[in-house]
Structure 1
Amino acid sequence: MSKNILIIGGGTGGHISPGIALYEKLGEEGNMSPLFLTGKNDLRFGSFTDIDSSRLFTYNAPSLTVNPFKIPGFLLRFAGAVLKTVRIIKKNNVSAVVGMGGYVSAPALVAAGISKVPLFLCEQNTVPGKVTLKFEKKCEKIFGTFPDSTSYLKMPEKYIHCGNPIRNNVLVQTPKSEAKKAFHLEHCDKVILIIGGSQGAVKLNNLVLELKKAYPREFKNIGIIWSTGDYSFDEYKQKSQNEVEAGSIYISPYIKRVGKAYRACDISISRSGAGVMMELAAAGVPSILIPYPHAAMDHQSKNADSFAAAGAAVKISDEDAVAEKVAPILFDLLNNPRKLKTMSDCAKQASKIDAADVIVKNIKEILGSQR
């Protein structure tokens, strides 16, 4: 009999994308059947098109507040999300719950405990998030991206360093020429991929405009695939048309053909959330990483440090993410194919494309031993 596994991921693309990857892998198993739970607001990311609507659930997961006037409302919404998940678990005879991190997963993890269902956690970042630290005692295993995460855990023996699950469309091997055509950039000598994260990054979006305006000659034959995030897409689309020549820019809130974007580009400039970093690594994309300075426990900076130390990326602080400081580094790399090749090789070595296989294998073994 097939076992139903409930995956919870939401809040940002960094929690959703690996959840989708795990959903895909579980769907390939003959005796496993995945379900996906996310926040209602997260449907806007457009990542769920390949998930059967009958197996996709949503709830209102409130973000934590310290405002005393908002705490009663928070508790009511949190309790409502917990109860909804308990009903989902019971109705679908769920055998295990897998949390992908972030506040959106918290009510479902509480529901797993109430329902006495085995709980597994996936941690994307070097520094484990609050949800992982809160639920590590109650979970069976923690599947993590970076080896150094054990130093932050009270129960490091539960930690399995396996990498971050990678979506199937990231791993598709598309010829570079074909990938560039998908974004109408086949005429460009080089292509840069700009990713500010699922919610966008004002700093990176402004950097694109600064670079194009300050270095028009250098960018004449350089194409840009630019993911702005949904909050500021209209603004930057207009600015890209008004302030710079947009003929060699592909601009979109999200990049649906992300695998082709990775194959089309020669280098990426991005934030250093673990999700996008591991996808870039799996595709062998050299990176300039600009950590978000206000990330919890400075985890993006530590993520970037790990890739810089591995030779897969160059780290630039948010403060230094301005055209006159980024341009020399960017052009030096683009004009040095040997250096880019070395970084690409290092990125591939840092990736673990079998993460989803490892997670599924461990879930099956633990559920099998609990019969």
Structure 2
Amino acid sequence: MNIVVSGGGTGGHIYPALALIREIKKHQPDAQFLYIGTNNGLEREIVMRENLPFHPLYITGFQRKISIKNVQKNVQTVANFLRAVSKSKRLMKKFIPDVVIGTGGYVAGPVVYAASRLGIPTIIHEQNSVPGLTNKFLSRLVDKVAVSMEEARSFFPEEKVVYTGNPRASEVLNGDPEKGRASTGLSRDKKTVLIFGGSRGARPINEAALGMLKAADRKSYQILYVTGEVHYNKVMEEASAMGCPPNVKICPFIHNMPDVLAAVDLVVARAGATTISELTALGLPSVLIPSPYVTNNHQEKNARVLEARGAAVVIPESELNAERLLAVVDEILSDDQKYLEMRQNAKRLGVPDAAQRLYEEVVSLIKA
């Protein structure tokens, strides 16, 4: 079985692709993969670390604001797209894939488009509640559209849509809480709040977390605060000057997230698709602070889905401060009934077998 996978730009497009690849390998150890991405996204480093064959394309995104300069850029984008389609066709004629899978990002556009023109079975995976431009465009050409959230269904041709969930969810289910505590210095006797703003961190979340430090010393719970490597040194200077309480652990990055998630009780985070899939698979209550800097404001829309189902509390970044965050965390952890309901509601939204579901859709396409 030969499979081409394409997705890039952000981890939200890359990690689901890798989760699916691992699931396919479990069932089909002899499967061969070719990952097509870009050199300037996160995917090159991440994919090559997985020892997967990687081939780069040069592709840029469309400028949505109207101006003479942007019109010129969009003309160049079309030219880049056509060149990327041509290169993708050459790669596929050599590799001869049985199926081509796109998980989002600009680079998936020419790859999946090329496959559709060559008559190769195609499937795209949409992680968010509101799809991006690339997947909206590709949905008219592909054989199947897999969605992580039911709310995305209405944006695509109904007859093509299958609800699979996000395959990344399946990878957090086997976390070891003891390993999570050992790696972070957490106590097993206290409830734990994990605060993180993604791999690079998020300045507004860091500012709110720092503002909580003085009050945290009086709390019965403990806090694991992940700053992001870019912000770590500055945060540690400020935390040391303020006096960091013993029930607060600060680290730059978490490499064993499944283990750590298994050890915590409440998560404060952004509302990216991967985070949402992990929280709901585990049934973890959350305080979500959506990034306002993403396309179509999709993080807030993701977060509002969980809020509407009683699985999360949403704090817009414009309303975030230490006092508000502390009050929300206190309210959730001090009310056992509310906390239990949030856990149950999050669990109902989860799709723990998402990787298996998506794998089955891929296999059905090949056999069709």
TM-score > 0.5, shorter chain as reference: yes
Aligned length: 361
In the alignment, the residues of structure 2 paired with residue 181 and residue 261 of structure 1 have an alpha-carbon distance, to the nearest angstrom, of 9
TM-score by length of 1: 0.86
What pairs up with 1:299-314 in 2 under 5 angstroms? 299-314=298-313
User: Per the alignment, do residues 200 and 112 of structure 1 end up closer, same or farther by CA in structure 2, a change over 3 Å counting?
Assistant: farther
Aligned-residue offset at 1:130: 1.0
Runs of 4+ displaced beyond 6 Å: none
Please, which moves more after superposition, 40-49 or 132-141?
40-49
**1:234-273 alpha-carbon deviations (Å, 9 max, x no partner):** 5445544455527632322x42211012112111011112
The 2-side partners of 1:157 and 1:346 are apart by 29
CA separation of 1:204 and 1:44: change in aligned 2, threshold 3 A: farther
Secondary structure of the 1:166 match is: helix
Q: Which residue of 2 aligns with 1:92?
A: 95
CA contact (8 A) 1:191 1:224 kept: yes
CA distance in 2, matches of 1:167, 1:93: 30
Shift of the 187–15 alpha-carbon distance from structure 1 to 2, 3 Å rule, reads same
Q: Structure 1 residues 197 and 84 mapped into 2: Cα distance closer, same or farther (>3 Å)? A: farther
Matching of residue 206 in structure 1 with residue 172 in structure 2: no
Question: Which stretch has the larger CA shift, 190-199 or 282-291?
Answer: 190-199
Determine the C-alpha separation between the residues in 2 that align with 1:6 and 1:187: 44
Gap runs ≥5 in structure 2:
65-69
User: What pairs with 1:1-371 in structure 2 (closer than 5 Å)?
Assistant: 3-30=1-28, 32-43=31-42, 47-48=46-47, 51-53=50-52, 55-65=53-63, 67-71=70-74, 73-75=76-78, 77-153=80-156, 155-166=157-168, 169-174=171-176, 176-186=177-187, 189-213=190-214, 215-218=215-218, 222-228=222-228, 231-245=230-244, 248-252=248-252, 254-369=253-368
Distance 1:37 1:242, change over 3 A: farther
SS in 2 for 1:250: strand
* Structure 1 stretch displaced more, 138-147 or 341-350: 341-350
The whole-number CA distance in structure 2 between the counterparts of 1:315 and 1:75 is 38
Distance verdict in 2 for CA 1:264–1:107, change over 3 Å:
same
Is the 2:194–2:266 Cα contact (8 Å) retained in structure 1? yes
Q: Percent identical across equivalent pairs?
A: 27
1:22 and 1:221 mapped to 2: Cα distance? 36
Sort the Cα spacing of 1:218 and 1:13 in 2 relative to 1 into closer, same or farther, 3 A: farther
Letter in 1 for 2:209: V
Stretch moving more, 316-325 or 138-147: 316-325
Q: Give the SS at the match of 2:359.
A: helix
Q: Which amino acid aligns with 2:226?
A: W
Contact kept, 8 Å, 1:144 with 1:162, in 2: the verdict is: yes
Contact 1:225 1:261 in 2 (8 A): no
What secondary structure does 2:27 align onto?
coil
Alpha-carbon distance in 2 for matches of 1:76, 1:232: 39
Following the alignment from structure 1 to structure 2, what is the Cα–Cα distance between the partners of residues 15 and 119? 17
Name the SS of the counterpart of 1:256 in structure 2: coil
Offset at residue 58 of structure 1 (A): 3.4
Checking the alignment, whether the CA contact within 8 Å between 2:147 and 2:164 is kept in structure 1 is yes
RMSD: 2.7
In structure 1, runs of 5+ residues without a counterpart are none
| Distance in 2 (alpha carbons) for counterparts of 1:332 and 1:52 | 45
Alpha-carbon distance in structure 1 between the residues aligned to 2:239 and 2:9: 28
Residue 142 of structure 1: how far off its partner (Å): 0.7
Q: How far apart in 2 are the matches of 1:200 and 1:89? A: 38
